Structure 1
Amino acid sequence: MAMSGAVDLAVLKERAEAQRLAESRPASSSPTGGDAGAGDGAAVFDVTEVDFEEQIVQRSLRQLVVVDLWAAWAEPSSQLSPILAKLAQESGGRWVLARVDVDRSPRIAQAFGAQSVPMVIALVAGQPVAAFNGAQPEEQIRGWLDDIFAKAGHLLPEVEGAEPAPEPEADPRMVAAEELMNSGDIDGALDAYRAIAALEPDNVEAASVVRNLEFVSRAQSHDPAVVTNAEPGDVDAQLAAADVLLLGQRPEAAFDRIIDVIKVTRDEERGRARARLLELFELFDPAEPFVVSARRKLATALY
């Protein structure tokens, strides 16, 4: 889902204006190494609070900007940052990588609501459109970038000199599974996608569709009346009610229903409710405001 509205960028712009003439950008010790310059031709560059507005927000009006929030003490950063830099340099100008040392620029991390590092955020037209946390394999990141261009690429101008990305060939298995889903054969589609995911554990699209179809199949099996009829102490009924609420596009209410169960249960029942909540979180972008809020409520309920 889109992240628009989840990030407060204004405070960074104000801070940058106040410091721009007084400060120069510090040298980088980024795990990717290389030149820290942020010229228009650079595929990878370092950014601080001073030049955040210019190099990230303004630049995203004409080019996809991927922000890498990293820290020297975070081991996953040393794994992820070189992969991102390699992909940016290979992109032919389609997108650029802006590296942010969160220890030197904590306000940027705060603005993006970062709970841990590394965190990677993609900006288009001045707004975050997607994000992920933690180190990810190269192929998964490629798929993430392809998805961004597919959904938001029309908002970006053509980059002069950039080579157009080749159209990927459609996987006939995925096409067949999608046709089953579109025809209303949810069980058949689910079996097809599960088979693909079992053969290809790194197939992010297939795994994502499996999660969504499993949820839809389960949620549709519940009586919608369970939302009002579920007894407070009936864990199964409360989890079913959460499914129905989420299927009805009410994620906050669904998450709150399960968190309330976690507050009043112990041991196996609490663990079951927590596992279901984490499962539902996987259906959304982790940077969605209602997911971030629910994670905080979960932490409070548990501890």
Structure 2
Amino acid sequence: MSEHIVEITEANAQALLIEESFKRPVLIDFWADWCGPCKSLMPILEKLCNEFNGAFLLAKVNADEQQMIAGQFGVRSLPTVMLMKDGQPVDGFAGAQAEPQVRELLEKYLPKPWDLQFNQAKALIEEQNFKEALPLLQQAHKDSSAQANISIALADAQIELKRLSDAEDILKSVKMVDQDAEYQNVLAKLELAQAAGKIPEIEALEAELKAKPEDKETSYQLAVQYSQHNYYAESLALLYKILQSDLNFKDGEAKKIYTDVLAILGKGDPLAVEYQRKMYTLLY
């Protein structure tokens, strides 16, 4: 039997039915040996429990042997299934149900994959580890179809990592109705970061490049400055443009800095993945 499937007795009922439900949902299955529908339902519940891999606890109560527990929960027929959350029954059904109906009930209360990613990211952010939090937030943002609270957290992490243009794009995508106090805080943080400006060397090179947009030497010098001050997206964009026209620019130095920036970002970073693919198209 899986560690996420338990038999309930009076000795463990309080701990497993009530206290455990504050940590994760507990699905209680009241059954009996003589009950035919119980025997058809139980494999469905066990299959889903194994599939969800610990997202909920399946608690099996033999109603004949544990009559006091069945009575306390007001069980009148078998099978009866109840879903416990935070110490209270929140949903359930009586009688056998097909797998799609049971799955639908569970999915209303179980955390979504992006919730788990978001929680992992928040734990990393508490440790000021924005670099490792970023890919988790980006994946959660994608999987949740840009859920507002995830979008705001993603923008905040991007600001910390000096990806100001990315943060601005994300914040612009948040709907007006979702622009709460946290959104306003992150927006103010972005505006302060933008107002602080870049260092003089970068500003001077940006002005020079604006006047001579096709000057590879200026582009290269600006890309170097960007990379040294953690403006990785901007650096890679300039370097890629240079490498498109001259793969061996400055005796390979442009390509070396390009690969160095990819290494700093790490293999799982979506920005790194994007520019690794672009480099691949240039090489092959």
Both proteins in one fold, TM over 0.5: no
The TM-score bracket by the shorter chain reads 0.3 to 0.5
If the length of structure 1 is used for normalisation, what is the TM-score?
Answer: 0.37
If the length of structure 2 is used for normalisation, what is the TM-score?
Answer: 0.39
The answer to which structure, 1 or 2, has the higher relative contact order (CA under 8 A, 6+ apart) is 1
